[in-house]
């Protein structure tokens, strides 16, 4: 099965600290897309950042960046200068090659404390 694994069910940090969420996946494909989605209590999933597997450069979006290690099949999310509004569930997802659907991990519940 082509799975996505998030090994940290919950994390908690103080406001302004940096936090890293881990994600690993299983695939034999060479090209695919990886994503981090945020799900606040409103339930609406929001795209945080996206990485194309054939690009070696790690994606960055303001305070959010990824560490993409293709050989290790690892895709961690780093949140710098964390804010209270970052509190949410975070899901790692992979889009298999040639497919439109996303395969999601189990999620990490992140709490930012004041």
Partner 1 sequence: GAGVSQTPSNKVTEKGKYVELRCDPISGHTALYWYRQSLGQGPEFLIYFQGTGAADDSGLPNDRFFAVRPEGSVSTLKIQRTERGDSAVYLCASSLQGSAGELFFGEGSRLTVL
Residues that bind partner 1 (CB under 8 A): 4, 33, 35, 42-47, 50, 52, 91, 93, 95, 99-107
User: Least separation, in Å, of the C-beta of 17 and partner 1?
Assistant: 25
Q: Which DSSP letter does residue 13 get?
A: E
User: Least separation, in Å, of the C-beta of 51 and partner 1?
Assistant: 10
Nearest to 20 by CA among 72, 70, 63, 78: 78
User: Least separation, in Å, of the C-beta of 70 and partner 1?
Assistant: 17
Q: What backbone phi and psi angles, to 5 degrees, belong to 96? A: -60, 155
Which CB sits closer to partner 1, 57 or 100?
Answer: 100
Which CB sits closer to partner 1, 50 or 73?
Answer: 50
Give dist(CA 68, CA 57) in Å, integer: 8
- Per the DSSP assignment, residues forming a β-bridge with 112 are 13
């Amino acid at each position: 099965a082509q799975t996505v694994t998030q090994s940290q069910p919950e994390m908690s940090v103080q406001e302004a600290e940096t936090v890293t969420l881990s994600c690993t996946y299983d695939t034999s494909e060479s090209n695919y897309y990886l994503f981090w989605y945020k799900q606040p209590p409103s339930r609406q999933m929001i795209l945080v950042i996206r990485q194309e597997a054939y690009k070696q450069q790690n994606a960055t979006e303001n305070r959010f960046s990824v560490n993409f290690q293709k050989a290790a099949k690892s895709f961690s999310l780093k949140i710098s200068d964390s804010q209270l509004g970052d509190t949410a569930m975070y899901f790692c997802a992979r889009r298999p090659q040639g497919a439109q659907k996303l395969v999601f991990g189990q999620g990490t519940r992140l709490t930012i404390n004041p």
